Every structure is written in C-alpha cells, then in structure tokens.
Structure 1
Amino acid sequence: MDLVISDPEDILKISSAFSSMTRINILKITSLEPKSITELSNELMMTKGNISSQVSELEHAGLIEIKYENGEKGIKKIIKSKYDKIIILLSSDSTNNSFQESKE
C-alpha cells in the first residue's frame, strides 16, 4: 500500500519520523516481513529500549502496525511497516486529502 501526503503539517509529522537512520532501517526491515523488538534489536545491534523508543515514534507517525503475540517470556510486539511507498507532494495543486492511501 502507498501513502500520499500533501498537507504541510502531515509532511512535517512524517519527515520527523525519518530524521533517524534507525527509524528508516526499522521501516525498511519491517516492510519485508514483520519483526519483534528482539529481532530488530539483534539485526540493528541496538538495545531493546532504543528500538522500543524508535518504534513508538514510528507508531505515533502512523507508519507501522503493531500486533501482540504470546512469546517465550510473555507478550511480544510484532512490528510491520504499513506502507511500501510514501509519496510527498509539494505542489500547490496537490490533492485535497492530506493523507491518501492507495493500493498499487
């Protein structure tokens, strides 16, 4: 699914989510397949706390889906990127919808 953004406020919200290479990497990894916090922590060689913080930022921006599953030591978060493509329209004649989802 694609996300098309044209509203300046929404562009700012999304761009702040991209201000961290860790968050970009999380989006890239989870666009291929869902991952747990532990799996992301291992792949990115970062602490679970740092990954959790970055995931929270992506969730706040509306860029990921989170599901909960039973794990070995309790409930675990499974993270999946919502979009395959994010398009930012800067022209003034852009669509009236600030957030527009399309399936291509």
Structure 2
Amino acid sequence: MGRIVKYNRDKHLKKKYGISIKQYNKLLKQQKKCCAICGKHQKNEKRNFAVDHNHKTKFIRGILCTYCNSRLLKYLYDAKKRAIGLIKYLQNAVDNDKDWKVS
C-alpha cells in the first residue's frame, strides 16, 4: 500500500470510527486477518475489510469482509455458515465486551 493510500485510509478511519490504521490492523490481526463472520481471509478480498459498528452506540464490533458487512442483517438467510458465524460473532462481543468506542 502506497504512502498516500495509507494516509488517506488512516484519515478515513480516524474521521469515521475514531481509530487509527494501527488500531484497525491490530483488530484485524486479532481476527487472524479473517472476516469475523464467515472466516474469509483478507488476502482473498480485493477491497479492505470494513469496520462493523453499532450506529447508535458508535461501538466497533469487528472487521468484516465486504459481503458480510453489506448483507449483515439483510441477507442472512442465504448462507447457514454466515448465520452461524454472525451468532458466534455477536455472542463473543457480548461475552467479552470487546466493543471499541467510536468518537
């Protein structure tokens, strides 16, 4: 990733979610560089993984692939694996209180 691209990504993450690129990468590393719902690895995705957050509380729940992020609640019926992954993902967030505050 080029220097300008990294700067713009860092600026976007700070503005929208209140986290740095370093914090984003740390969270992604904790997820073994995989989507928190379906387990797809970052290297198999053309775009950066998305930051999933609660729009009301501004807490970050995790990092998701483009597919899971865009269809998180809308299209769960289309894949049993994704639905099971979502349940585990949200339960883990509740059990471990891993939400990150977004300013």
- Structure 1 and Structure 2 fold alike (TM over 0.5): no
Q: Which has the higher contact order (CA 8 A, sep 6+)?
A: 1
For the pair shown, the structure with the greater C-alpha radius of gyration is 1
Structure with the higher helix share, 1 or 2: 2
Query: TM-score when scaled to structure 2?
Result: 0.31
